A and B are shown apart, each in its own frame.
Chain A
Amino acid sequence: MFKTLLKSVREYKVASILCPLVMIGEAVMEILIPFMMTYIVGQFERLAKGEIAEINVSGIALCAALMIACAVFALLCGVWGGKLAAKASCGFAHNLRQDMYDNLQKYSFSNIDNYSTSGLITRITTDVTNVQNAYQMAIRMLVRAPVLFIASIVMTLFIEPFMALIFGGAALILGIVVAFCMVRVAPHFKMMFKKYDGLNAVVQENLTAIRVVKSYVREDSEIEKMKRATGEVYKYSVKAERILTIMMPCVNLVFFAVNIVILTLGANMEIGNISGNVSPSQLQTLIQYSAQILSGVMMVAMCLNFISLSKGSMERICEVLDEKATISNPEGAITQIADGTVDFENVDFAYSEKSDKNVLSGINLHIAAGETVGIIGATGSGKSSLVSLIPRLYDVSGGIVKVGGVDVKKYDLDALRNKVAMVLQKNVLFSGSVAENLRWGDESATDEEVRLAARQACAEEFIDNLPGGFNYDLGQGGVNVSGGQKQRLCIARALLKKPKVIIFDDSTSAVDTKTDALIRESLKKHAPETTKIIIAQRISSVCDADKIIVMDEGKIVGSGNHEQLIATNDIYREIYESQLKGEAEHE
């Protein structure tokens, strides 16, 4: 896992390695400076005790100069180190995000199906931020703190070896206490994050379904739901933080205890000259070192805690990075597509390899170039799955799908998809002007071509009525136009590709029947060579097609023109009658 993530460090490797080294420089100064302080204070002390009649002014001046030099060096190191840390951690996060997004763009439809939109957003933003913080902590602290710790112990050894032993013992005790707390606290935090998901779910649901909530006057019961969700978060966050709160005073107590021991022993040494010679100023220095040693232990603990907390985030990021695209360009890919013929030869298809249930089985179908083919069938009969195999959005589990007489697996993906246009059932427009959205189909399209495509999709009239016409801003997800208008824009966008095959996956459901008919007519007129495949709920949308395919439970159960199917196919007749009943009675 770490290996996968660290691959994204790349150009920030130098900063990442340099940063801890520079930090060591700062840490060493941090250790040396108290030594000089000791000398300065020591001079005053000895003067106070009467050991010396006059202070060593030149000595103090030298010490002061040294101390300033050290402080300046520490400052430089600190500033540089801080900048390096910022550069390395932000850059690392930047690369992680980019790598995730780049890989995401390689995903096939079946890869995309594995993730929810909100899941991906969390991974790209929150999770990366968590990892960034952990990384930043690691390069700033994980080297500096141990160095501080070891150097302080060494310095203590110089002053009084016995004290070093005490510090080591205290650090050990502290380490155990902290480790114990961290182990206890981890599962609570894990639960808390889980409960956060629940809280998010309630909020999100209420944002999307606010009309339902208000219609049924369920505000109060939703508020109760939210209270339960926040209550759960509260419960686990209190559980976790309680342990952390207990930890801090424990740490303080250890620190204070060490202080008292230092003073008691120090006082005795001073008086009795037991083993060494500890002056009062050295006592103060020792206290300072003890603080540094213990805070070193704390920092390492905090770092490890941070890293372990971000483990979940790391795992989620790795999932995205490690996901191998299931469809990629073949070697020696063909970039030219002869014509719009489509063939299915013994095609079987399942969405996942593991599931033994085939969505499509034994499909054989020939569609000639320029033909109009309608596909009809109940929801879940496999219509959408069938057509999504043509632009190779998914790979077949068995059999071959051919476009222009060649297996789709042999084509360059971009070339194939540019010639096989698909208007998806769940279609989306993006923020930006109408023209910008339409140009997704062909970036180099002239204004006239854009207008023509809009006209062919019966969208020209309403676009001209929008404020600003083709420059009208559609807003996020195209919120500023109605469902039917959106569908027509999506059709125009697909038409702009000038495809050899165009597929409509129930893409006129929100367009009224008359406009629906107009669109089909204009297609027939303007794109006679384009193969048109239309999935629809309404019989009226397909009944004038050259061929109609009836699907049921993943199989083709009938094919032919309208009259033939009415005469021979029960399912088709049933659908037809259900839609016509009212009108037929009336006539």
Chain B
Amino acid sequence: MNKSDKKRGKGAKTPAKTLKRLLVYTFSNNKLATAFVVLFVLLASVANVTAASRVSYIVTELIDKGVNADMTGTVYPNIIAMACIYFIGSVSSFSYNIIMMYISNRTLKKMRDEMFAKMQYLPLKFFDTHTHGDTMSIYTNDVDTMRQLLTQTIPQIISSAITLIAVFVFMVIYSVTLLLVVLVMLVAVLFATKIIGGKSAKYYIKHQKALGNLNGFVEEMTEGQKVIKVFCHEDKAREQFKKLNDSLNEAGEKANANAFVLGPVNNNLGYLQYVLVALVGVLMMAFVGEKGFLSIQCSIIEAGAANRTAVLAGMLVSFLMYSRQFNMPLMQVSQQLNAIVMALAGAERIFETVDTPPEDKGGDVTLTSGKEGWAWKKPLVGGGFEYIPVKGDIRFNNVVFGYTEDKVILKNITLYAKPGQKIAFVGSTGAGKTTITNLINRFYDIQSGEITYDGLDIKSIKKDDVRRSLGVVLQDTHLFTGTVMDNIRYGRLDATDEECIKAAKLANADFFISHLPKGYQTTLKGDGANLSQGQRQLLAIARAMVSNCPVLILDEATSSIDTRTEKLIEDGMDKLMEGRTVFVIAHRLSTVRNSKAIMVLEHGEIIERGDHEQLIAQKGKYYQLYTGAFELE
């Protein structure tokens, strides 16, 4: 289990804070719309309650007067009023629903956009420590949990609250005593919700965790499905999957069962309440009399009423109706409980991602390109700028670095690359070759020492501009969804088609591109899955050629290209490297042989340096490697 899985299991740590932040996030940018939502929700709930009271008014009128009911004077006008109220209620509820729909969709979009924008600027450490599947699921699953919360749960809570208050007021007017009965049952409902809902939430979080585990397992094992086949490991895999699947099932069943049970429990508690209210009403009428009801309404009517029992009975009818109405919103909100738990856990993860501090921008020296080529623009203390031409002079002075504090990868590295020189790094895997290039483009920050670029401390230059001045071809080639042309142009967005094709020709990629179904306009999908590893590297080289940077980093740039093709692109590579400072990492010594300086790295230290002849003459590690390789031929 990795770290993020553990996080997944926790659920929301500070639900109240998260909820508040979520509400602010959602509504602060839609203040006017929010005001309208609240207004319409208010209108709709009031309409609901009033309509219901109209119903009871009509019913009471019919009860009271019977055949003598005033049809034209009271009943019909009331029915018409009710129709109007219903209409207003419907229009209002439609209005707030549609506004909420727009707000929520906009919020989801904004969330995804902002999270993505933040993520783009996170330090590489974030990507090293989070699994892709986990991060992806924040964008889809977690963001989607907000949808129900925003479109249904929140409006429902508001309208329920209003209905509850209104109904509560009516009930107070009708009978305080009976209200107490209702409140006792309310406590029972809340208690049941807390216990059952809490259980459901607990298992739900367990379920999410189990799902995460299963997800991770499938991701890892399917990635290696062919290895499983080759090693006849199918039964073992099936067994492991079964274990994870079983625990997922167990948690899921319990979470769902509790959620499904909550509805009937609350619903039937509602019926129980109804019975209790009725019984208490009957008993009080029989044994205590009207005073016992503590009814404000009755005491008002009392004076003029001919038949007090009738008045009391009418009051009871109304009260029973209201007590039903009191239960409805409670039930609806308790049904939404799971949605709230889910949404808050999701929101927590979203905010956590958004809150991860971005990598710092670096210094205030920027890159400009004018007629005389590229230059560093350095702000001076007294105002104004100093322009330093970009030459590609890179030096490491006693650089110490480790990915974590306690494990040093590079020990006291000192090296220099003068403009136009080709510097090669040789050494076994894990010696720290790639790490050095990761420091030049400032993917990671050094612990001590100094790296200078054209005499400037690399930390004083804006990170983006350092990177803009470096063209890179990495060991693992990654391409983007889009046409082949788009992918080459990735190196420099304003490159013309001709420039891109020229680069492709130099990289010897033109041949295979023109054999693709639509040539340069062929769409690549899924990281260029339809191309071979070698073809993808050729595209990456073309991409670097288009970028036209003063400094180049080639990290095993030709490792997947067969040697015949490598020879074919040699001219292109030479042209690419001409006049540029180049850092090369390669296993094939033939690739690095003509470098100005070759650094042999071992365990994070440069153990030998010099050009090919010097190193051969030294008869050290390089000599061993070189002749070791040579011997075999």
Contacts and interface: CB of A to CB of B under 8 A. Distances in A.
Interface stretch (B163-171, B242-250, B392-400, B576-584): B242-250
Contact of A86 (B59, B253, B472): B253
A579 B532 CA distance: 21
Contact of A216 (B490, B525, B534): B490
Given A203-B139, A537-B562, 13 more contacts: A79-B261, A94-B245, A125-B214, A200-B139, A252-B89, A256-B90, A393-B229, A418-B232, A424-B226, A484-B430, A514-B629, A578-B564, A581-B567
Contacts of B526: 116, 201
Contacts of A93: 249, 252
The size class of the interface chain A forms with chain B is 35 or more
Given A120-B222, A140-B260, A201-B481, A217 B464 contact: yes
A125 B256 contact: no
A218 B535 CA distance: 23
A201 B282 CA distance: 67
A330 interface: no
Interface string B114-158: 001101110010010001110110011000000000010000000
A196 B141 CA distance: 11
Interface residues of B, number: 167
A537 B60 CA distance: 94
Contacts of B132: 204, 207-208
B567 A105 contact: no
Interface stretch (B316-324, B330-338, B411-419, B449-457): B316-324
Given A214-B443, A427-B227, A543-B632, A579 B79 contact: no
Nearest to B482: A225
A202 B525 CA distance: 11
A33 B567 CA distance: 88
14 contacts: A33-B271, A41-B317, A44-B320, A49-B63, A55-B285, A79-B265, A90-B252, A206-B116, A217-B468, A234-B106, A379-B562, A476-B131, A509-B559, A510-B429
Interface in B279-317: 279, 281-282, 285-286, 307, 309-311, 313-314, 316-317
Interface stretch (A257-265, A347-355, A396-404): A257-265
Interface stretch (A151-159, A235-243, A526-534): A235-243
A78 B441 contact: no
Interface in A23-59: 26, 33, 37, 40-41, 44-45, 47-50, 55, 57
A407 B479 CA distance: 42
Given A90-B249, A234-B105, A271-B69, A71 B532 contact: no
Contacts of A209: 478-480, 527
A60 interface: yes
Nearest to B587: A512
Among B246, B279, B314, B441, the one with the most A-chain Cβ atoms within 10 Å of its Cβ is: B279
A226 B630 CA distance: 50
B124 to A, nearest CB: 7
A101 B101 contact: no
B134 to A, nearest CB: 10
B380 interface: no
Given A218-B490, A513-B625, A263 B79 contact: yes
Contacts of B307: 50
B211 interface: yes
Interface stretch (B91-99, B339-347, B368-376): B91-99
B64 A48 contact: yes
Nearest to A66: B275
A539 B633 contact: yes
A230 B109 contact: yes
Contacts of B116: 202-203, 206, 222-223, 226, 230
Contact of A67 (B58, B275, B630): B275
Contacts of A50: 307, 310
B249 A105 contact: no
A230 B113 contact: yes
Contacts of B214: 97, 124-125
B570 to A, nearest CB: 9
B264 A82 contact: yes
Contacts of B97: 245, 248-249
Given A136-B256, A216-B491, A378-B564, A431 B220 contact: yes
A446 B549 CA distance: 55
Enumerate the 3 nearest inter-chain pairs by beta-carbon distance, A residue then B residue, closest first.
Answer: A78-B264, A82-B260, A484-B429
Among A70, A116, A270, A287, the one with the most B-chain Cβ atoms within 10 Å of its Cβ is: A270
B517 interface: no
Nearest to B314: A48
B124 A211 contact: yes
B335 to A, nearest CB: 12
A468 interface: no
Contacts of B227: 424, 427-428, 440
A413 B218 CA distance: 24
A264 B79 CA distance: 7
A223 B119 CA distance: 10
A430 B240 CA distance: 13
Interface stretch (B8-16, B29-37, B588-596): B588-596
Contacts of A202: 116, 481
B614 interface: no
Contacts of B64: 48-49
Given A221-B493, A583-B630, A575 B562 contact: yes
Interface in B529-574: 529, 532-535, 543, 547, 559-567
A34 to B, nearest CB: 10
Nearest to A60: B282
Among B218, B233, B532, the one with the most A-chain Cβ atoms within 10 Å of its Cβ is: B218
A521 to B, nearest CB: 10
Nearest to A509: B559
B632 A49 contact: no
Nearest to A484: B429
B100 to A, nearest CB: 9
B408 interface: no
Interface string B470-494: 1010110011110000000011010
Interface in B50-76: 51, 55, 58-60, 62-64, 66-67, 69, 71, 75
A74 B472 CA distance: 70
Contacts of B231: 417, 440-441, 493, 497
Contacts of B355: none
A339 B341 CA distance: 62
A544 B135 CA distance: 48
A585 to B, nearest CB: 9
Interface in A60-91: 60-61, 64, 67-68, 70-72, 74-75, 77-79, 81-83, 85-87, 89-91
